[in-house]
Chains A and B, each alone.
Chain A
Amino acid sequence: MAFAAFSTATGPATDPVARRRSPVALFLLLPGILYLVLFFLTPLVSLLLTSFQVPREFGDIGQYDYAFRWQNYVDVVTTYWPHIIRSFGYALAATFFALLISYPLAYFIGVKARKWPLVQSLMLVLVISPFFISFLLRTLAWKQLFSDESFLVQGLKTLSLLGPEAHLTGTAASVIFGLTYNFIPFMTLPLYTTLERLDVRYLEAGSDLYASPFQVFRRVTVPLSMPGIVAGTLLTFIPAAGDFINASRDFLGGTGTQMMGNVIEANFLVLQNYPSAAALSIILMGVILVIVSIYVKRSGTEELL
């Protein structure tokens, strides 16, 4: 599936071995599964419980008691609904642009460059190379490139392509730009994996049957690359919705571009308003679980990993 794009193994798939029933399986599974239950499931439960907490009477900031305060959720939605909408909006836009930019690139590497496997590998290395440099520094570089004093902005202003008072940073556009940029590799890799396996003979058959190149693309290539498109979309949309680096004021964001991630972080680490942070997190998680369950319903759990 999506995440197998990260694997570098490309051996031929052999027939599934008759799987054995053995106590060894338990021994192999236990450490990792236990670890995840302890450090993944339990924290989520913890988060859920925290979201219902009440401030302790006469307690300090950051001290809460367990309760069932549903009101927390109502409060959080009423206060932060613009951020919620904005997060999913930005994520959707970023996903859309990332798809637009990545598809031709993935197509070139996966289909057109098949005759030169070394070129394919090197291009893929370049696609993932941004991962080798810290996410923060990448985003910071764009911020500085778009800042008012940069030569880029100065140049655009001289050419009158930008108004003298215009800013490139701190806008919705710059946040979406940052998100798109950072997630291009996440979109390109699954697309590449699917397109690499595309049998060109289908395209030839389409052309033989009177389909123009555009029609071949629309009716053969796109449907056959759908698994990659879906995987790339999931891999991009989900992290983008929860991102807060791009939108933070220190990077590409401004006061009007705060996303859910920023709010959660602010509430948790600064305001120590744990219930609010938790409630927002649960809402975010909830939406994502809905999307994932739709995917699982259509494709089953075997394909997940």
Chain B
Amino acid sequence: MAVGAFADRGADLELVGLEKRFPGFTAVDNLNLTIPAGSFFALLGPSGCGKTTTLRLVAGLEEPTNGRILIGGEDVTNQKSFQRPVNTVFQSYALFPHMSVLDNVAFGLRRRKIADAVTKAHEALLLVELDHLAHRRPQQLSGGQQQRVALARALVNRPALLLLDEPLGALDLKLRRQMQIELKTIQEDVGLTFLHVTHDQEEAMTMADTIAVMNKGQIEQMGEPQQLYELPRTAFVANFLGQSNLFTGPVVSTTSTAISVDISGQKVVVPMERAHRSSGTVTVGVRPEKLSLHDEAPVHDASRNVMGPGKVVDVSFSGVSTQYLVAVPGVQTLVVFAQNMAHGPAAHVGAEVWVSWNIDHGFGLDDDPESEPRFEADLDTKTIAQQRRSSMATELEEA
């Protein structure tokens, strides 16, 4: 690490065949990733998927079992964390309790013997609007203020790469929204490369230019938020980012533009360009907010899929929208989100309804339903509880 120098701008990050094995399990499994300089990149995934481990590997706080890490083209795999041009905003903030806020922020500058450390520290604190608290101790600050100090402490060093480890987790909703906007603004203004690790998919979609969804140590899908959301590649991504209605069935016919899938007697058409697989048994899906409810069988429309009749089994009001659960015999329970454009629900419990959606809103997954699924969407309560328990246990072990 060049003493006394700042990076001019963010650098790109390249992970080549990165692997981290612990006794008993593999946290990061042959990860290959390139993050372009100056972008806001989110690593999204559930607890235990390996995202935090990946972050720690990049920061230099863990040593990889295999693979290489390149920052700005330079191989830093063998460098210790204090040698890398990388700074981390820790989930717990890790603000030194025995130093003032100002000394905390100036810490990195002083270690690198950068001139005018105090002035620069004040500038960083001004950026996060906390300069008036420069001489307080971290313990005297609120959670939101501590988070901003942690950010200033990392930013002031102008790192080539800034790592954020779920930094907004401890904040309340309003503050979190505010910080999301601020972080994005700072990143764009300063031009640094941000790598943000989170399990909050809304947060990732709001802030990131590119999202990589991780599961069990590997990347399931990577791309722009909208792309990931509208065209998920696997059932995991479809269920992790928002909610999905998924149907599995054989492809009965194909045209040059679309495939037709038979779901227990109901026909679902998906455009060819939105289907990853076009033969055999496939899983197709559609997002709940794309579905429309009809109280009688809708008129046939070639541009829309229809499913029904089904029975409304649950109506759940949540302010912005209402969630309906519709049981279609032979298929499954469909989830429908309807914006509350008018007073009262569109359908009551027990009503007979039809569900329709625009063909262009459907998607076909890349999963092969006939092979062992990597992640089973198991709706059985007991299994869900068991999975939650084991993921919590892994979380505890990692902590």
B14 smallest CB distance to A (angstroms): 20
Q: List 27 A-B contacts (CB under 8 A).
A: A201-B90, A201-B92, A204-B90, A204-B94, A205-B90, A205-B94, A207-B61, A207-B80, A207-B81, A208-B60, A208-B61, A208-B86, A209-B108, A209-B111, A209-B153, A209-B157, A210-B1, A210-B82, A210-B111, A211-B82, A211-B111, A213-B82, A215-B82, A215-B111, A223-B98, A224-B97, A224-B98
Interface residues of A in 223-260 (CB under 8 A from B): 223-224
B97 touches A210 (CB 8 A): no
Cα–Cα, bound, A213→B80 (Å) = 10
A211 — which chain B residues lie within 8 A by C-beta? 82, 107, 111
Alpha-carbon distance between A223 and B81 when the two chains are bound, in angstroms: 22
Which size class do B's interface residues fall under?
Answer: 20 to 34
B87 located at the interface, meaning its Cβ lies under 8 Å from any Cβ of chain A in the complex: yes
How far, in whole Å, are A215 and B108 apart by their CA atoms in the complex? Answer: 11
Main secondary structure on B side of the interface with A: loop
Interface string of A94-117 (1 = CB under 8 A from B): 000000000000000000000000
The answer to whether B107 touches A206 (Cβ under 8 A) is yes
- Cβ of B96 < 8 Å from any Cβ of A? yes
Chain A contacts for B59, CB-based, 8 A: 208
A-B pairs, top 3 by smallest CB distance, nearest first, are: A209-B108, A205-B94, A210-B111
A212 at interface, CB cutoff 8 A: yes
* Cα(A117)–Cα(B94), bound, Å: 24
Given contacts A204-B81, A215-B111, A223-B98, contact A209 B90 (CB under 8 A): no
B-side contacts of A216, CB under 8 Å: 82
Bound complex: CA A54 to CA B92 (Å): 67
A-to-B contact residues, CB < 8 Å: 199, 201-202, 204-213, 215-216, 219-220, 223-224
Q: A202-B97, A205-B96 are in contact. List 18 more A-B contacts (CB 8 A).
A: A199-B94, A201-B94, A204-B88, A204-B94, A205-B95, A206-B107, A207-B60, A207-B61, A207-B80, A207-B81, A208-B82, A208-B90, A209-B87, A209-B157, A210-B1, A210-B108, A210-B112, A212-B111
C-alpha spacing A152/B60, complex, angstroms: 48
In the bound complex, what is the Cα–Cα distance between A220 and B82 (angstroms)? 14
Main secondary structure of the interface of A (DSSP, over half): helix
Bound form: Cα–Cα A267–B158 in Å? 70
> How distant is A117 from chain B, measured CB to nearest CB, in Å?
14
Q: Which residue of B lies closest to A208 (CB)?
A: B88
* Chain B residues near A208 (CB-CB < 8 A): 59-61, 81-82, 86-88, 90
Q: Quick one: closest A residue to B91, CB to CB?
A: A201
Chain B 136-189 interface residues, beta-carbon cutoff 8 Å to A: 153, 157
Chain B residues with CB under 8 A of A224:
97-98
Interface string of B34-65 (1 = CB under 8 A from A): 00000000000000000000000001110000
In the complex, the answer to whether A202 meets B96 with C-beta atoms within 8 Å is yes
* A163 to B133 Cα, complex, angstroms: 65
Q: Using A201-B90, A206-B107 as known contacts, say yes or no to A212 and B96 having CB atoms under 8 A apart.
A: no
* A219 vs B96: C-alpha distance when bound (angstroms): 10
Instruction: With both chains docked as a complex, state the minimum distance between the C-beta of B394 and any C-beta of chain A, in angstroms.
Output: 16
Q: How close is A215's CB to chain B, nearest CB, in angstroms?
A: 6
Closest Cβ–Cβ distance, residue B139 to chain A (whole Å): 13
